[in-house]
Structure 1
Amino acid sequence: MSPLEIVLVSVLGALILIVAIYLFVVHTNAVNRLEIFEEVNKEAKSGKIAFLGDSLTDFFPIQDFFPGVKIYNRGIAGDTTKNVLKRLDNVVALAPRKLFLQIGTNDLAKGSSPRKIVANIKKIITTFKKEVPNIEVICISLYP
């Protein structure tokens, strides 16, 4: 192999390793966050405010903007609408009076069609409206 080929193979190998580590970290983060949510839910009070979404929600400093207000942040970095649908019970269990929903960015990045994303968001909202009848759902739009 030529020196250039050796460099290219090395770079490709490093990229594959970086992607594998990233995927492992994202998955581990999601599992850890779900375990934390389960523990917090044991002491949670209904009728509060919940935020649900992906990394934009997960990393948003909610308490900095709403000091003294009890808010449950249910954001998980890397989440998609499909993932949120799978973990809805955990958030429905909070029986929040208001839900701020910001999800779909990762769906777009993974190639989901806008039609499928909207359908999943509608399912999320419908589930909340059915399970928590007086809930107010506020959808936060995706970035342009």
Structure 2
Amino acid sequence: MDNILFFGDSLTAGYGLENAATESFPAIIDTKINAAGLNYRVMNAGLSGDTTAGGLSRLDYWLNKPITVFVLELGINDIRRGVPPQTIQKNLQAIIDAVKSKYPSAKFVLLGMEIPVFLGGQIAEEFNGIYRKLATINQMPLVPFLLAGVMGIKHLNLQDRLHPSAQGYKIVAETVWPVLKAVL
């Protein structure tokens, strides 16, 4: 059985859900994989509050397991903490390079994030461009905006308005699944 590693922050972990083991988007995708009869095991390496630097520091632990597909979702906590977009891009590239070095035949899916330009101006534009640049440079499939169809919609988010509800995660999974399925 091949491993799919979902590597990210609270959005991957399923922060705030009653049962992240069944309601997070990696768990929903695992159900889809099983229903499609595909021979993959989903591993959820989401860690609430994680940054690209944090992800880089904990990556070796996860690379001790064979990885066939690596799904990367990090960066939004960095920008919220004022980390420059150039540093975020550098750290994401370092994560990609480390996975490629250990597992040269691994396939990748990059999950992009966006922030409204009216909140951050130039910084927002630079941040929003990181994921497309990385996808192009590394020739990897991209989900341009992980929270498309969910962000800003009250009933699809927890009270914090930052994290999807169980219903919101169903939409997130539908956003990710076509891109991931094509890779599988």
TM-score, normalising length from structure 1?
0.65
Partner of 1:10: none
Gaps of 5+ in 2: 15-23, 35-39, 116-184
**2:3 counterpart of 1:53:** no
Q: Residue 90 of structure 1: CA displacement? A: 1.3
What is the aligned-residue identity percentage? Answer: 29
Q: Residue 81 of structure 1: CA displacement? A: 0.4
Runs of 4+ that moved beyond 4 A: none
**2:88 counterpart of 1:133:** no
Q: Which has the higher helix share?
A: 1
Q: Residue 133 of structure 1: CA displacement? A: 1.2
Of the three residues 113, 116, 125, the one matched with 1:142 is 113
Aligned with 2:83: secondary structure?
coil
Partner of 1:102: 73
Deviations 1:41-62 (A, max 9, x none): xxxx7x3111000001110332
1:118-129 matched pairs, under 5 angstroms: 118-129=89-100
Mark the structure with the bigger radius of gyration: 1
Q: Residue 137 of structure 1: CA displacement? A: 1.6
TM-score, normalising length from structure 2?
0.51
> Number of aligned pairs?
99
1:69-88 matched pairs, under 5 angstroms: 69-88=40-59
